[in-house]
Homo-oligomer: A and B are copies of this chain.
Amino acid sequence: MNIDQYMTDLGHRARSASRAMARASTAAKNAALEAVADAIVRERDALKEANARDLARARDKGHDAAFIDRLTLSDKALSTMVEGLRQVAKLADPIGEISGLRYRPSGIQVGQMRVPLGVIGIIYESRPNVTIDAAALCLKSGNATILRGGSEAIECNTALAKLIGEGLASAGLPQDAVQVVETPDRAAVGKLVTMTEYVDVIVPRGGKGLIARLMEEARVPMIKHLDGICHVYVDDRVDMSKALAICDNAKTHRYGTCNTMETLLVARGIAAEALPALARAFQAKEVELRVDAAARAVLEAAQVSGLVDATGEDWRTEYLAPVLAIKVVENVDEAIGHINEYSSHHTDAIVTEDHDRAMRFLREVDSASVMVNASTRFADGFEFGLGAEIGISNDKLHARGPVGLDGLTSLKYVVLGHGEVRQ
């Protein structure tokens, strides 16, 4: 197969389908989503058979249990997909909304209309649920999609794509609106992220390795985040019960998520009071503590042992594990400075009772989500009320933070005139 030609054809068909999707009615898009949900219920056994073949191949290749788990289309996974499709069908359609339409002195009215981005490429690992989640959000937002999942999931992805195509067709929408790249060749990804004439944005879903590699190659803009080095700063004007609850939740609720706290900053004025209690709570859950010299001094004075000395590298590390870096800072200024230097600009929080410091932290910390007195774990499309989430962006242009349907759209200017000309 000529990969270049194959991908160009896919891109050309996607661009063409994107025109029809941009003008598709809300009713047609919702009908397609419901039809896909119905089809997954109906074809549950066939999907599980396709998945069984993927799983057999993955086991032969020696993939580990976590990999197999993500690849498995269990009954629960299938039900979650069906539920997700029906939820996206219920979300308000963002397309066509006109905002800010105002008369100008020239007599024209100027406003902005929300429109689809066009063609969205999704690159992800062997997680078949992403096929449905991503397709649903792109479909609802009037975009065409090219899906490139991990090659180990190729059989169930192809089966799912067939159901999506039938769902689109049953609603009078073009089947090419959702296409799956059916070759495992890595060159297909290289082409997908560089064909700027056919693809408007790439959303990579996966680990840091995948995203770093794509950043090297891509010419198409990406909605992405590389890592989540999230901070909680415990100020000295603090309600200790809030600080304990928030720090515990931010670190131990889930270790492997991008909005998990990786570095704890504590104000010097409260360190002797706060650090021992915090450290004991973490150690009770077997979290390894990597501390700076000031934190070690405070903790040893309080008979807390089993500490590891932090190195410069720890301030830049996303552990995704029961490990926490701890540093004592002078005050909110030093905390903001440390965060703006070392944070991955994902999510950072302050715990304080002081209004001015809370407001300064909110304004000055340069991250996608900045929080006062709340756990970093809230940085999530559902928790933020977006209804769904295609991913999280740490970038400043276009979408920032959790990205929902609106992040898959753009605003164009619309002008309503009555024959006006420019003087």
Q: Do the beta carbons of A411 and B417 come within 8 Å of each other?
A: no
A372 at the interface (CB under 8 A from B): yes
Contact of A421 among B221, B377, B379 (CB under 8 A): B377
Q: Which of A360, A368, A421 has the most CB of B within 10 A?
A: A421
A200 at the interface (CB under 8 A from B): yes
* Distance of A350 Cα from B422 Cα, bound (Å): 16
A208 at the interface (CB under 8 A from B): no
A169 at the interface (CB under 8 A from B): no
Which residue of B is nearest A374, CB measured?
Answer: B417
Q: Do the beta carbons of A415 and B370 come within 8 Å of each other?
A: yes
A186 at the interface (CB under 8 A from B): no
Instruction: Report chain B residues within 8 Å CB of A422.
Output: 249, 253, 375, 377-378, 383
A175 at the interface (CB under 8 A from B): no
Distance from A387 Cβ to chain B, minimum over Cβ atoms (Å) = 12
* Distance of A231 Cα from B419 Cα, bound (Å): 16
Q: Label chain A's interface by main secondary structure.
A: mixed
Contacts known (A106-B378, A106-B383); A245 close to B370, Cβ less than 8 A? no
Contact of A413 among B106, B117, B375, B402 (CB under 8 A): B402
Instruction: Report chain B residues within 8 Å CB of A366.
Output: 19, 22, 115, 118, 412
A89 at the interface (CB under 8 A from B): no
Q: Do the beta carbons of B363 and A23 come within 8 Å of each other?
A: yes
Q: Do the beta carbons of B400 and A246 come within 8 Å of each other?
A: no
Instruction: Report chain B residues within 8 Å CB of A249.
Output: 421-422
Distance from A355 Cβ to chain B, minimum over Cβ atoms (Å) = 11
* Distance of A387 Cα from B200 Cα, bound (Å): 30
A396 at the interface (CB under 8 A from B): yes
Which residue of B is nearest A196, CB measured?
Answer: B215
Could you say which interface size class chain A belongs to? 35 or more
Instruction: Report chain B residues within 8 Å CB of A370.
Output: 113, 412-415
Q: Do the beta carbons of B410 and A396 come within 8 Å of each other?
A: yes
Each complex incorporates copies of this chain amounting to 2
Instruction: Report chain B residues within 8 Å CB of A367.
Output: 412
Which residue of B is nearest A245, CB measured?
Answer: B421
* Distance of A340 Cα from B23 Cα, bound (Å): 13
Instruction: Report chain B residues within 8 Å CB of A412.
Output: 366-370, 400-401
Binary flags per residue of A268-281, CB closer than 8 Å to B gives 1, else 0 = 00000000000000
Which residue of B is nearest A407, CB measured?
Answer: B397
* Distance of A230 Cα from B383 Cα, bound (Å): 43
Q: Do the beta carbons of A110 and B22 come within 8 Å of each other?
A: no
* Distance of A357 Cα from B41 Cα, bound (Å): 41
Instruction: Report chain B residues within 8 Å CB of A415.
Output: 349, 369-372, 374, 378-379
Instruction: Report chain B residues within 8 Å CB of A110.
Output: 383-385
Instruction: Report chain B residues within 8 Å CB of A363.
Output: 22-23, 96, 113, 115
Instruction: Report chain B residues within 8 Å CB of A396.
Output: 117-118, 200-201, 410
A313 at the interface (CB under 8 A from B): no
* Distance of A23 Cα from B332 Cα, bound (Å): 14
Instruction: Report chain B residues within 8 Å CB of A397.
Output: 117, 200-201, 221, 397-398, 410
Instruction: Report chain B residues within 8 Å CB of A402.
Output: 413
